Amino acid sequence: MTWKQQAQRVHTEAQTFYFAFKHPRVPWYAKLIAVCTAGYLFSPIQLIPSFIPVIGFLDDFLVLFLGVKLLQRIVPRDILAECRQQANDAEMRRKDEVRSRAAVVAVLAIALVWLFVAITVSGMIASYLPLAVKK
């Protein structure tokens, strides 16, 4: 598995747990675990400061790993499957949105180039015409 695929998988899992957090049938204690895990990762106060090489991020990784494993056990499997499907659907919509944005940018770039060329050629023709009339 490449780094890009692994990063994509982590992103999808994060979205899955986000949707699980918002799901009404998820128990309150599972939501509490999700909030505490995310809170620890983003908190400036940590057991081992992150600026210490290697072991600074090991505690973050350990908390994240344990939080995810615990959530996978606590959240009912049918809800987790439903949330995973929502995360996959959201990823597909995001990819389509990126493609459509790229298409809009491409059309605008082509239009701007065409406009620049048209104005430049018109200016050149306009500057050439008075010289042709004077002769």
pLDDT in tens, the chain (135 residues): 788 888 788 788 888 888 888 999 999 999 999 888 888 878 888 778 777 777 878 888 888 889 889 988 999 999 999 999 998 898 888 877 767 777 788 888 999 999 999 999 888 888 877 665 555
Two tokens, residue 11? 């992103």
What are the DSSP calls for 99-126, one per residue? Answer: HHHHHHHHHHHHHHHHHHHHHHHHHHHH
Q: Exposure pattern of 46-65 as b/e (b: 16+ CB <10 Å)?
A: eeeeeeeeeeeeebbeebbe
Location of structure tokens 């790993």: 65
